[in-house]
Every structure is written in C-alpha cells, then in structure tokens.
Amino acid sequence: MKQIETKFNVRYSETDQMKIVHHSNYAIWFEAGRSDFLKSSGISVSDIEDEGILLPLYEMNCQFKKPAKFEDEILVLTGLKGLSCARVIFTYKVYQVNTNVLLATGETMHAWTNKFLEPVNAKKKIPEVYDILSLTLKSEF
C-alpha cells in the first residue's frame, strides 16, 4: 500500500497537564497526513475546492495504543483504503519516531459534495482527481 510520511514534533499546546497529547489532536494529525497524501499524488485540496468540490468528514475512528507526549517526534503514515464516485477512505498509523512504537491507528471517511454539502459524483465532476486516486488505489495491490 502506498503510504505517505508526515513528520513533526508534539507541541506543548497539544498536551494536557500530564504532557500527554489530547485525543482531539489526532484528527488534526490525520488531516495533515491526508493533505500530504494528496499533494504527493499531485492533487491539492485547494484545487479540488476551486472546482467547487468539498470532502466533508462523515466518519472517523481512532484506536489509541500508547500515549504521545510533549516533544515526541511523530510519524503519521497515510494511505488510501477506498474510493468510489461518492466517497473516499484514508487510513493512518501514528508512530513515535525514536522508538518506532505504534501510538494509534485510524481511518477517516469522506463524501464528495458541492459547496451546499450535496453529494456529487467525483468521477464526473473532477475526473482527473478521481483517475489519479483510482490509479493510486489500484497500484497498491
């Protein structure tokens, strides 16, 4: 499976009083990984939005294995799990770089919509983007 790496250090503002990363930050980390994945495929989120297409999140899951802590170097591996004319699914694995310990896994599921959040057929509305993602998904097997 094609996976894109996103690396960064945990900031103090992402932690609680125990210097453990608050769970809400994983959604932000997933978004950073997803943006990097699309960029690596030659697709920009801004370009998709300029075409009047949005990718709202309709479902997200995250399984926490070990806590991330202040100043940890984090690696988010992002992959494409599924694609249809109506939806796209991304997967994530979050590691602590120095120890290579798996901290969390997750998925986000997104719908292709217009600016009014009405479903659209991505294959028809943005065929270039759909084709790139389709080829990426097929090349993963």
Model confidence pLDDT, tens digit, residues 38-84: 999 999 999 999 999 999 999 999 999 999 999 999 999 999 999 99
Q: What is the band of 140 on the pLDDT scale with cuts at 50, 70, 90?
A: low
Cα dist. 117→24, 47, 55, 78, 138 in Å? 24, 17, 9, 25, 28
Query: What pTM value is reported for the model?
Result: 0.94
85-137 per-position pLDDT tens digit: 999 999 999 999 999 999 999 999 999 999 999 999 999 999 999 999 999 98
Q: Is the pLDDT of residue 30 over 70?
A: yes
Check if CATH label 3.10.129.10 holds for domain 3-139.
yes
Q: Where are the domains of the chain?
A: 3-139
Q: How far apart are alpha carbons 90 and 61 in whole angstroms?
A: 11
